[in-house]
Structure 1
Amino acid sequence: MKKHYGLCLLCTTVMLGSTSPGFSATLFQENFEDGNFSARGWYDSTAPKLSSIEHIANSTKSLEVRFAAGATTPDNLGTSMRKKFTESDSVYISYYVKYSSNWQGSNVNYHPHEFYLLTNKDSDWSGLSYTHLTAYVEQNEGKPQIGIQDGMNIDMANIGKDLTATSEKRGVGGCNGDSDGYGNGECYANGSAYWNGKWWRSPSVMFSDATGSTYKSDWHQVEAYIKLNSIVNGKAAKDGIIQYLYDGKPVIDARNVVIRTGLYPDMKFNQLLIGPYIGVGSPVSQSFWIDNLTVATAPPTVSTIAAPQNLRIISK
């Protein structure tokens, strides 16, 4: 018998807005459910402590990061966990994080570092802060921030000079001028070289000491998206993107950013590190936890389709 499809406007609703994923490709996921990190492609530190007490709903474990008082690195994680992924000129990171009730961070206006992204211009075992490009996703004194450093690209013969209109051989994180209108960045001597750093920060505290919607000792979702700018006719275009979402709410949204120059037009992200670090030493014994990490090429886009209420497809 031939079937006909019609609408039953008085029947039970089957869709009151639906979601569909965007075109982003998932690079990898890590849910921290077991310790087989080497088998999943992690290297460097591969035996961190997992907590079966602290975790999000529908999870059984999380990654525990514990600093002893005075320590610069966690005593149960090692220097850093590293994982390579397919090269991409854009990276989206999503994870859940919770801090201990006594969390103080560093008590200075820099550190702790938490997540790092490195590129194909540096080695699998590259250092972190002096590279061709390091991107940071973290928070300082409760305020989310994303930063970049590209000290190895600095024109050391022209420290403090604005090269943005004359040369692609320059650092965009500082020392050689303001490439995109977001400021000159930091520029400071370190031994015989100069290092730099440029930061985009939330104006508000999102990991707060007070109980409520931003309480630091509750689980919160962090989403970060960094898209390298285009290179057009050998020159950096102002079209990079830096975004940070907290529980789905945008708190950093920078467009028209310059992150690379025509010096390295084929630069792409290819490595993630979890490497918590407090350079001045942890002021107290403190911890935080990470759960359900996803790394993709772009944020998932969600389209909401409003459907007629009380709609059902029926066959005859």
Structure 2
Amino acid sequence: MNIGAATVAIVSLAAKLAAAPPEVGELLFHESFEDTAWASRGWYDGPHMEIVEDSDAPHGDRVNLWHWPHAGATGPSGGSARLHLPPLEDVTMSFFLRVSDNWLWTGRPYHPHMFSLLTDVDWEYVGPAYTHLTTYAEVVNGVPRLALQDGRNVDTSHVEADLTAETEARAIAGCNGDADGHGEGDCYRSGDNWVNGKVWESGRVYLRAEAGLHDQRNWHQIHARFRLNSVGDGVTRRDGKLQMWFDGELIIDVQDAVLRTSMHPGMKFNQFLMGPHYGPGVPHPQSMWIDDLKIWASPASPTAVRAASWGQAKVPPPGP
């Protein structure tokens, strides 16, 4: 018996049957990359994703290909694309991914970027690195992680000062103190702007270049949940949620995060960004495949208004 082949088959099946996270509400969007009618499903900002056939696709027969064509490339074929979402405070996304046999990570504590949520405080084409809030769900050096940036909120007159007890007009992801007890985050200049970043990691490598349960060449499912913390009467509460599941296993569970202050009491998530970016440049041509992308309101939002164009024009499979 070919033990290696049997292991691959079992792992692949396990990935496809990955358990759902709790508290998932209405399915807002389902993209299985079966055709290129992107605009009909709500994609905007130049969607030209590349799809290829895959007999092992988690859903359907085709998947999304991100191919970095040469050494030094930062963006892959297919590029980025965005979706409008109804205004929500609590969003869960899921997707499957795998990488090529020769895939190498950056070896640095950042990149590649993969999927983000943005808010209605910024305009619909805002660059994700400098906003009032950007969330990231990604894998860096084989380690799944969640991250936040809110550089546009930085009080540039008091950079590196702890403003958490002084004012609500401050950043939560770095440069103005530790907003939630999870660390001060990064703070650095990028051109004329102060940029920040705060990261929560799974704590160990889940995607590896070796056969077995965590073989990065096989399909794996990731769920990521972001819930804005509550604010009111000029008070920021530490009750935001950041959660991540890998093949059904809860690997990040933060129940006391701060994603906004009462400076933005009406902030809502209203945009999804598929934004692959390998900042240092790939060491050689390499690829990543994505499939079965889903976005939920979590839990179901009474304010959600679902557009007729959202989602793949097919009946989604049962379960997440």
TM-score by length of 1: 0.85
Give distance in 2, aligned partners of 1:251 and 1:184. Answer: 22
SS state at 1:178 partner:
coil
- AA paired with 2:238? K
CA shift in 2, pair 1:103/1:54, >3 Å: farther
Q: CA offset at residue 210 of structure 1?
A: 1.2
* CA shift for structure 1 position 235: 1.5
Q: Does the 8 Å CA contact 2:58/2:291 hold for their aligned counterparts?
A: no
User: How far apart, in 2, do the equivalents of 1:57 and 1:262 lie?
Assistant: 41
Query: Aligned residue for 1:3?
Result: none
Displacement, 1:279?
1.3
Match of 1:282 in 2: 282
- Aligned twin of 2:269: 269
CA distance in structure 2 between the partners assigned to 1:229 and 1:44 by the alignment: 29
SS at match of 2:243: strand
Q: 1:58 to 1:295 in 2, by over 3 A?
A: closer
Change (3 A) 1:28 1:49: same
Amino acid at match of 1:67: W
Measured on the aligned residues, the alpha-carbon RMSD in Å equals 1.6
C-alpha distance in 2 between matches for 1:137 and 1:222 = 9
Tell me which residue corresponds to 2:176: 176
C-alpha change, 1:88 and 1:212, in structure 2 (3 Å) is same
* 1:30 corresponds to 2:31: yes
Change (3 A) 1:263 1:57: closer
The verdict on how the C-alpha distance between 1:23 and 1:51 changes in structure 2, with shifts beyond 3 A counting, is closer
> Could you say which residue in structure 2 is the equivalent of 1:248?
248
Counterpart position of 2:206: 206
Q: CA deviation at 1:54?
A: 5.8
SS in structure 2 of the partner of residue 198 of structure 1: strand
Secondary structure, counterpart of 1:129 in structure 2: coil
Show structure 1 runs of 4+ deviating over 4 A: none
1:185 offset after TM fit, Å? 0.3
Supply the distance in 2 between the matched residues of 1:23 and 1:279 (Cα, whole angstroms): 33
Aligned runs of 1:229-240 on 2, under 5 Å?
229-240=229-240
**Larger helix share, 1 or 2:** 2
2:73 matched residue in structure 1: 71
Q: Which residue of 2 aligns with 1:60?
A: 61
Structure 2 unaligned segments of length 5 or more: list them: 1-19, 301-320
Identity %: 40
CA contact (8 A) 1:146 1:242 kept: yes
Consecutive unaligned residues of structure 1, counting only runs of 5 or more, are 1-18, 301-316
Deviations 1:184-241 (A, max 9, x none): 0001122232110000011110111111111101001100001000003221100001
> What TM-score does the superposition give when structure 2 sets the normalisation length?
0.84
Matched residue SS, 2:244? strand
Task: Assess, with a 3 A threshold, how the Cα gap between structure 1 residues 299 and 201 changes in structure 2: closer, same or farther.
Answer: farther
Indicate conservation of the 8 Å contact 1:48/1:64, yes or no: yes
Which residue of structure 2 aligns with residue 14 of structure 1? none
Query: Could you tell me which amino acid in structure 2 is paired with residue 61 of structure 1?
Result: R
- The letter for the 1-side match of 2:235 is K
Contact between 1:154 and 1:194, CA under 8 Å: does it hold in 2?
Answer: yes
Question: How far apart, in 2, do the equivalents of 1:58 and 1:273 lie?
Answer: 21
Partners of 1:222 and 1:31 in 2: CA distance: 15
From the superposition, tell whether residues 67 and 271 of structure 1 become closer, same or farther in structure 2 (CA, over 3 Å): same
